Chain A
Amino acid sequence: MRHARLIAVAGTTACLLLTGLGFSSTAGAQSPTIQISNAWARRAATAHGGTATGSMDKGGMGKTDSSANGAVYATIGNTGKEQDALLSASSDAAQTVELHETKDEAGVMRMRPVPKIAVAAGGKIEMKPGGYHVMLLGLKRDLKPGDKVEVRLKFERGGEVHVHAPVK
């Protein structure tokens, strides 16, 4: 019972965290059927420079370091009458962008690429830590709290949606 409560509390906390930051998809492109809400990106440091919390980098190699990665999360709502799917994503902030899902198998986290993320007609899907995420591989710059990351999401039916995800 305590465990159920723990999960509920964790879920509530995640929701509060998400809603507390008040994001919008101030978009360059919108879709009539796809609604993106609660978009955010996890902060990350590349070798290029420090972060808002202070840099520990002293060397600053000045080269592209493909080993710094990031993640973008959002809730995708589909108000259409047919199932839709997120097919791919792109961003100028990273060399490569992929769709990934982490699965928790008895405490072991297994992260895998997924070909698409389906969103049922009239339904929604929440990308969140430990689940679906847009993975940014090879960050070109630091993702610092207060910054925004632009991500273009391409849907099977809904077309392309631009999202500006605040970094936290």
Chain B
Amino acid sequence: MRNCHRGGSVAALALVLVLASLASGADFKGGLLTPPKAAPDFALTTQDGKDFRLSRERGKVVALSFGYTFCPDVCPTILAELAEARTRLGADAKRFHTVFITVDPERDTPAQLRKYVSAFDRSFTALTGPPGRLTEVQKAYGVVAEKRVVAGTSASYLIDHSAFVYVIDPAGQLRLVFPFGMSIEDMVHDFKLLLQR
């Protein structure tokens, strides 16, 4: 319960950020972080077993989302939207990278992640790593992830998690937070704006 409450506060803070910037008349459609801060760096393992380090992504807009492959609803929705957004970016797509980080290292092996993201876009990177390191990354981005054993389902457990998309600009600055349900049109608008600057 305490965990739940704390999770709620972090998420509420993120939401306040989003709402604040939406009200401020910024050019961006998503929630703007002002001032921007350097995106917390991390090193994890890709779905192909390769090393990935966020700071090597300079020059690209990175859309960072957190989730787990057991999730059939929210996570695939976000990935499908980001895949569509990338298509709509046209020539800019080569400077756009979607990165999905698991909150479920227990089930999400690289092979499992590879299978999951292959349904959406081959350019996507899906990451896992030692649980402790994943927790650090979650904390750095204010992500809530709570494992729940739930009655009434054949699933052994579910994971409640925050569903924001964190957007990092080509200079490696964390600039925007997208709430779940933001339109693809607005996402593309913001990605283009970041790629122009």
Contact = CB atoms under 8 A, between A and B. Distances in A.
Interface stretch (B56-64, B129-137, B182-190): B182-190
Given A9-B183, A53-B122, A57-B118, A67 B112 contact: yes
Contacts of B119: 43-45, 51, 53, 142-143
Interface residues of A, number: 52
A51 to B, nearest CB: 5
A45 B15 CA distance: 32
Interface stretch (B37-45, B89-97, B158-166, B167-175): B158-166
B183 A2 contact: no
Interface in B142-197: 144, 146, 148, 150-155, 158, 160-164, 179-186
Interface residues of B, number: 58
A133 B72 CA distance: 9
B107 to A, nearest CB: 6
Given A3-B23, A107-B14, A109-B180, A135 B72 contact: yes
Contact of B115 (A45, A98, A100, A108): A45
Interface stretch (A31-39, A76-84, A110-118, A153-161): A110-118
A109 B114 contact: no
B150 A13 contact: no
Given A67-B112, A107-B180, A109-B160, A6 B153 contact: no
Interface string A104-146: 1111111111010000000000000110010111000011000
B50 to A, nearest CB: 13
B140 interface: no
A7 interface: yes
A159 to B, nearest CB: 24
Interface in A1-29: 1-3, 6-7, 9-10, 12-13
Contacts of A10: 181-183
Interface of B: 7-8, 11-12, 14-15, 18-19, 22-23, 25, 29, 47, 69-74, 76-77, 80, 83, 107, 111-112, 114-122, 144, 146, 148, 150-155, 158, 160-164, 179-186
28 contacts: A2-B23, A6-B182, A13-B183, A43-B76, A44-B72, A44-B76, A54-B122, A56-B117, A56-B122, A57-B114, A57-B118, A67-B112, A68-B115, A69-B70, A69-B72, A96-B154, A98-B154, A100-B73, A104-B163, A107-B12, A108-B7, A108-B162, A111-B158, A112-B158, A115-B152, A129-B77, A130-B181, A133-B72
- What 10 pairs between A and B have smallest CB-CB spacing? A56-B118, A107-B11, A45-B119, A129-B77, A69-B72, A113-B152, A71-B72, A2-B22, A113-B153, A106-B11
